[in-house]
Copies of this chain bind each other. A is one copy, B any other.
Amino acid sequence: MSVPAFLRRIFRGGGAEGGVRELVQLCDALLAESGEYASTALAREALAKWQGLDEPSREEFFDLLVRSYSPAVEPLKAAAAAYQAEPSNETLVRLQQAIETPRRELFYRLNMAPGGTAALVEMRRVLLAKLKAKPEWRAIDYDLRRPLRAWFNRGFLRLERIDWRTSALVLEKLIEYEAVHAVQGWGDLRRRLASDRRCYAFFHPQLPDEPIIFIEVALARGMSTHVQPLLDVQAPVGDPADADCAMFYSITNCQDGLRGISFGNQLIKQVAEDLKREFPHLRRFATLSPIPGFRAWLAKSAGRELLSCIEDPAWHAGEVPESLSHQLMAYCAYYLLRAKQGDEPLDPVARFHLGNGAALEQLNWLGDTSESGMARSAGVMANYVYRLGELERNHERYFREHAVAASSAVERLARECPLQGQAAA
């Protein structure tokens, strides 16, 4: 398509000192459009312009979004005053209208372009990456996150099974995104999609080739306790008819630009139900999970003696004294059950699964001996069990009473941690 006349006219005046100026002109034109008439073309142009900006220009654009696309101050103050004077339906709606920001309207209109949704997810990714350094950008995030949340409403997502019939374009994304246990090329991926495995992802109609979140499952006989056998490309493919456990061993959020718009709990529950339907003989749905915050917490909490034992990166290579392993396991149980951030567990993976209503079932010594497994979790892995009949009760107790559902074995372990006495003291 050739550039329409209205686009050429938009740029006519400009001294053209750069892309941001042109982008802003396009955004203004887009907002000025009544009847949405030329909007699609303007939105497409604006997004193309945005995508062509370098990093400093993008920052400049964000700054402008804060400065120039906030609601008009005086009318908003007036509406605020009116509501204060008499809080009613009328003054409420008037205040709502006065607080609508041009920013948010802009995002709605940008979404009309083909590929608009994907571009706005990407824009938010860029925004979030610098939000700490630019706290004033929170105002943008507020206006971008709301529409994204509407567009990515759970009702619009569809669960799809990923297997070897899936397009290479999507499979390649899995290799790229997998955040828990990195995929070592196509052979590794193929093994993870063999007949004793399952992989599911949520997709959105506007991002047809982009998984939003995906989960990897192993169908196993007995609960898996160590992850390296699961990741072994050479491992023989089991018969799913023999399996009695579905082991969720990896779950990855793919879109940084959707941070805070969560789908994970929906995914696990729906996958568990689908699997139960396909394999009625499955008795247990459980995770084999990392404990990502354990090692960092340990460094702050444990005594120097213990820490010195695990200082050497190769400390677990030879024979490990039982006293050491026992002590580490006890610390780990204590960490998961007692270490808090507010009312909730300090460990993010624990928060996620316990919040879903799962129960902490078991800790596994040297469950993950990979470099990152040792560095983050001192090699320990956890099994969280999803008992479909108890999820709801656990979930409620977790949120109401901050109760952590855990097996008695893990409870016992935690009581054997040296810190336990101190806390009681």
Contact = CB atoms under 8 A, between A and B. Distances in A.
Contact of A168 (B84, B164, B185): B164
Nearest to A170: B165
Nearest to A269: B37
Interface stretch (A134-142, A312-320, A412-420): A134-142
Contact of A89 (B37, B139, B147): B139
Contact of A149 (B80, B108, B113, B392): B108
Interface stretch (A49-57, A92-100, A376-384): A92-100
Interface stretch (A70-78, A211-219, A223-231): A70-78
A13 interface: no
A259 to B, nearest CB: 15
Contacts of A80: 80-81, 83-84, 95
A165 B155 contact: no
A87 B92 contact: no
Contacts of A399: 34-35
A157 B93 CA distance: 29
Query: Most chain-B Cβ atoms within 10 A of its Cβ — which of A34, A87, A147, A265?
Result: A87
A38 to B, nearest CB: 6
**Copies of this chain in its oligomeric complex:** 4
A116 interface: yes
Contact of A167 (B99, B167, B186, B392): B167
A66 interface: yes
A151 B116 CA distance: 14
Interface residues on A, range: 35 or more
Interface in A155-199: 155-156, 164-169, 171-172, 185-186, 190
Contacts of A4: 392
A396 interface: yes
Contacts of A36: 154, 262, 265-266
A139 B96 CA distance: 10
Interface of A: 4-6, 34-40, 66, 70-71, 73, 76-77, 80-81, 83-84, 87, 89, 92-93, 95-97, 99, 108, 111-114, 116-117, 136, 138-139, 142, 147, 149-151, 153-156, 164-169, 171-172, 185-186, 190, 205-206, 209, 262, 265-266, 269, 355-357, 391-393, 395-396, 399
15 contacts: A34-B399, A35-B265, A37-B265, A37-B269, A37-B355, A37-B395, A73-B87, A77-B87, A80-B81, A84-B84, A89-B139, A116-B155, A151-B153, A164-B169, A185-B186
